Structure 1
Amino acid sequence: MNAPRIDYEAVFRAMPSVVALFTADLVYADVNEAFLRSMGRTRGQVLGRSLSDAFPDNPDDPSVTGMRDLEASLRWVTATGERDAMAFLRYDVERSDRPGVWQERYWSAVNVPVLGPDSQVELLLHAEEDITELIRIRRGEDPATAVGAELYTRAQELQQVNQRLREAHVRQRRVALMLQEAMLPDRECARQHGAAVRYRPAAGPLNVCGDWYDLLDLRDGRTVVAVGDVVGQGLEAAGVMGQLRSALSAASLIATGPAQALEALGLYARTVDGAESTTALLCVIDPARRTITYSSAGHLPAALLQPDGTVDFLDRATDPPLGARPEHSPRPQAETAYPTGATLVLYTDGLVERRREDIDAGLARLAGSLTRHQGAHPERLADALLADLTPPARDTDDIALVVLPL
């Protein structure tokens, strides 16, 4: 039986709740019929206008800040990519047939991000219910009036608390991003090798995590490339990431190979709070011998894209994450040859892992994308991988990516 064709535009217009779509600049892109009836407006009076222009706060009552609160919520959703269920709020609506006459109105609203193909916020879905009658129950006559007034007062207090929390979350995210960007390596080394590097933070305000990449040259002409992922989120994870990345870089300069460097990092991680269960992958590329020597501490395998489009995963030297064993033991190490024209790709789990899905499915998607884009310039290949593999609602994990031509 064929599935029915669903006219989502008709569904949107028929929804009984008040629903509006905003652009990321808070301009009305569309509204449903319930919105127009509730607000007493025509489509021409709303579409293409900004929120503050179409529905300003009542100038005669400065204490009513509901529209400004709504604008703040929408901007927060745009910045973070997270939904925001607002407490009760009051914003009055000016009568279109009687300019200067305002109707006292109370609402319960939720704002939800709509992501575009690049996983960025493209639209904002705003839905609200008119609860005016619940708040204004026969004012001055019904005992329930006092309850309604108390509810509104508490809701206003909660709304202020929520606003402060949103502002604090946004500030923490900005600080964590600045910290993480400052601790990631300079891209000059990547440019010298013709490599493409990417770091994309998670969408949520507190989801800046501990993903990192590194690329450095050894004195004997070999190149070290690494990625890692600290468990946890926010400033603490970013701080731990900086310590571990620096320690692994230092160990790589003096170790005999990637396994020994990860052993040293594992011992160091035991002294750093929050470093437990960190994963890391270290590859040493020898252009003279045309070999890649690698070792993994619980990290997903690097992908080697061959000139003919086939993909090999470097998975013969995988060990538990840092600090997972109660006692120290040597880590495994493997070596593989590579031909001219191959490409090495290192990444963190945000690129391939999905909830309730086996990791093999994510690795198969990665291999398929690499094969489709074989021969592309590293910068274009990195962008293509992110476009192909980043989930539509990427809001739980960072992505670090290195694409290195060999």
Structure 2
Amino acid sequence: MREPRIDYAAVFQALPGMVALLTPELVYADANEDFQRLAGRTREQLVGRYIFDVFPENPNDPAAAGRRETQASMLRVVATGERDTMALLRYDIEDPERPGRWEEHYWSPVNAPVLDAEGRVVLIVHRVEEITELMRARGGPGGDTDRARVLEAELYTRARELQEVNDRLRKAHARDREVALALQAAMLPSPGPTGRHGAAVRYRPAVGALNVCGDWYDLVDLPGESLAVAVGDVVGHGLAAACAMGQLRSALSAACRVTDGPAEALEALGLYARSVEGAESTTVVTTFIDWDDHTITYSCAGHPPPVLVHPDGTAAFLDQATDPPLSARPEHLPRPQAQTPFTEGATLVMYTDGLIERRTEDIDTGLARLTESLTRHRHADPEILADALLADLLPPAGNTDDTALVVIRL
């Protein structure tokens, strides 16, 4: 039996009740017919506009808090990836046909995330129940005053209960975040000794209560004048991702010490990852730096490629040995590796996707921004260069994904 073809755009428009879609920047992406009708705005007046440009706060009410509470709720959804149910809210709306005239409105909103395949918030579903008439019915002509008061009291009680539940959840999430950060801090090492060569490492957690992820880095001294450097990213958030990260980092550190190259180390890690809950689809890149031969041997499992910046400012991505993430194949296959020479004074930079990826940009834009910043700051020592990269590439208000960064002066 053939499955019916569903026109989801038509379903969205026909949904009963007010429903709008907003981007993480709180810009309207769409609004259904009930939202347009009850809010008194056309789709053209909504789509592409910042929510509080369309619905500013009532300037005649000094106690108005609708904008602040709505904005806080939506930003919590973006930061945590969790649904947020708001308490009963008064938010007046300006009459579009009579500017300066504000109409009293009461709303019961719920904000929910739409996540992409990597668990990032790409849209906010803003569902609103319009209860203004219920609030006005109290004492209104012909209204059932007693019944309206009972309904109002019940609604208020339920709203307060939901608000308390949200507060408890936020506190629990904050505790989970603190534990995950402490766990990561304990497992992420300081740069190991690299002889006369300089190294800098950085880790920046994501903003929000739940978005602590499983990013890691490691530096391992190898026999002779060699150094192994690894950077990885576990899919998921919170304590589970942090725990999986710790197991994988330790396993790769051991594998680098006993294998003949990064490809063999990643093969061993891939076999181990099959027994670690939450390790599926982890991305990682490993490099073996040989100071005597002036070569970098590398292998990549689905991770953004390292960048080698030469002393003259030219930059090359080490992308000739790229393979799928850990456990992405049903069967075990050897992983590729490649080798490239370097000259003294070059810089190797390894990082996780939080440094370069933005929801509204193509990945090539982030990579271009990275190479431009590296070229501009290439003469800075590793510590200063690492800070400059974070300042140039991360949003001022913080990123919604973790970022790990390693800078090695060769």
Question: TM-score scaled to structure 2, two decimals?
Answer: 0.69
Q: Which moved more, 1:276-285 or 1:378-387?
A: 378-387
Distance in 2 between residues matched to 1:330 and 1:110, nearest whole Å:
49
Distance in 1 between residues matched to 2:382 and 2:267, nearest whole Å:
31
Q: Deviations over 1:291-334 (max 9, x none)?
A: 11111111111000111111011111111111112221211111
Match of 2:380 in 1: 376
User: Which amino acid is 1:218 matched to?
Assistant: L
8 Å CA contact 1:344–1:404 kept in 2: the answer is yes
Match of 1:102 in 2: none
Match of 1:217 in 2: 221
Give 5+ residue unaligned stretches, structure 1: 1-10, 19-33, 42-50, 52-69, 91-105, 112-130
Count of aligned pairs? 321
Q: Deviations over 1:142-177 (max 9, x none)?
A: 531111111111111111111111111111111111
For residue 315 of structure 2, the aligned residue among 304, 308, 311 is: 311
Match of 1:386 in 2: 390
8 Å CA contact 1:190–1:197 kept in 2: the answer is no
Distance in 2 between residues matched to 1:155 and 1:274, nearest whole Å:
36
Q: Secondary structure at the match of 1:39?
A: coil
8 Å CA contact 2:216–2:232 kept in 1: the answer is yes
Q: In the TM superposition, what is the alpha-carbon distance from 1:385 to its structure 2 partner?
A: 1.2
Q: In the TM superposition, what is the alpha-carbon distance from 1:247 to its structure 2 partner?
A: 0.3
Distance in 2 between residues matched to 1:85 and 1:385, nearest whole Å:
38
Q: In the TM superposition, what is the alpha-carbon distance from 1:187 to its structure 2 partner?
A: 4.0
User: Which amino acid is 1:252 matched to?
Assistant: C
Q: Deviations over 1:209-230 (max 9, x none)?
A: 1110001211312111110011
- Decide whether aligned partners of structure 1 residues 191 and 87 sit closer, same or farther in structure 2, where only a CA change above 3 A counts: farther
Q: Secondary structure at the match of 2:154?
A: helix
Distance in 2 between residues matched to 1:13 and 1:269, nearest whole Å:
47
For residue 186 of structure 2, the aligned residue among 178, 182, 196 is: 182
Q: In the TM superposition, what is the alpha-carbon distance from 1:179 to its structure 2 partner?
A: 1.0
What do you get for the CA RMSD once the two structures are aligned? 3.6
8 Å CA contact 1:136–1:145 kept in 2: the answer is no
Q: In the TM superposition, what is the alpha-carbon distance from 1:141 to its structure 2 partner?
A: 3.9
Distance in 2 between residues matched to 1:232 and 1:310, nearest whole Å:
35
8 Å CA contact 2:85–2:166 kept in 1: the answer is no
Distance in 2 between residues matched to 1:14 and 1:252, nearest whole Å:
55
Q: Deviations over 1:35-61 (max 9, x none)?
A: 5x32379xxxxxxxxx9xxxxxxxxxx
Distance in 2 between residues matched to 1:13 and 1:361, nearest whole Å:
29
Give 5+ residue unaligned stretches, structure 2: 1-49, 91-105, 112-130
- Decide whether aligned partners of structure 1 residues 14 and 288 sit closer, same or farther in structure 2, where only a CA change above 3 A counts: closer
Distance in 1 between residues matched to 2:107 and 2:387, nearest whole Å:
42
Match of 1:250 in 2: 254
User: Which amino acid is 2:221 matched to?
Assistant: D
Distance in 2 between residues matched to 1:40 and 1:242, nearest whole Å:
49
For residue 274 of structure 2, the aligned residue among 241, 265, 270 is: 270
Distance in 1 between residues matched to 2:61 and 2:364, nearest whole Å:
50
Distance in 1 between residues matched to 2:358 and 2:195, nearest whole Å:
31
User: Which amino acid is 1:232 matched to?
Assistant: G
> Equivalences for 1:189-200 in 2 at 5 Å?
189=193, 193-200=197-204
- Decide whether aligned partners of structure 1 residues 227 and 40 sit closer, same or farther in structure 2, where only a CA change above 3 A counts: closer
> Equivalences for 1:47-66 in 2 at 5 Å?
none
Match of 2:177 in 1: 173
User: Which amino acid is 2:281 matched to?
Assistant: S
Q: Secondary structure at the match of 1:232?
A: coil
8 Å CA contact 2:176–2:238 kept in 1: the answer is yes
Q: Secondary structure at the match of 1:339?
A: coil
Q: In the TM superposition, what is the alpha-carbon distance from 1:14 to its structure 2 partner?
A: 9.4
- Decide whether aligned partners of structure 1 residues 275 and 40 sit closer, same or farther in structure 2, where only a CA change above 3 A counts: closer
Q: Secondary structure at the match of 1:143?
A: helix
- Decide whether aligned partners of structure 1 residues 155 and 136 sit closer, same or farther in structure 2, where only a CA change above 3 A counts: farther
For residue 204 of structure 1, the aligned residue among 202, 208, 214 is: 208
Distance in 1 between residues matched to 2:110 and 2:62, nearest whole Å:
17
Q: Does 1:288 align with 2:292?
A: yes
8 Å CA contact 2:309–2:375 kept in 1: the answer is yes
Match of 1:343 in 2: 347
8 Å CA contact 1:197–1:382 kept in 2: the answer is yes
Distance in 2 between residues matched to 1:40 and 1:314, nearest whole Å:
57
Match of 2:61 in 1: 38
Question: TM-score scaled to structure 1, two decimals?
Answer: 0.69
- Decide whether aligned partners of structure 1 residues 286 and 81 sit closer, same or farther in structure 2, where only a CA change above 3 A counts: same
For residue 230 of structure 2, the aligned residue among 226, 230, 235 is: 226
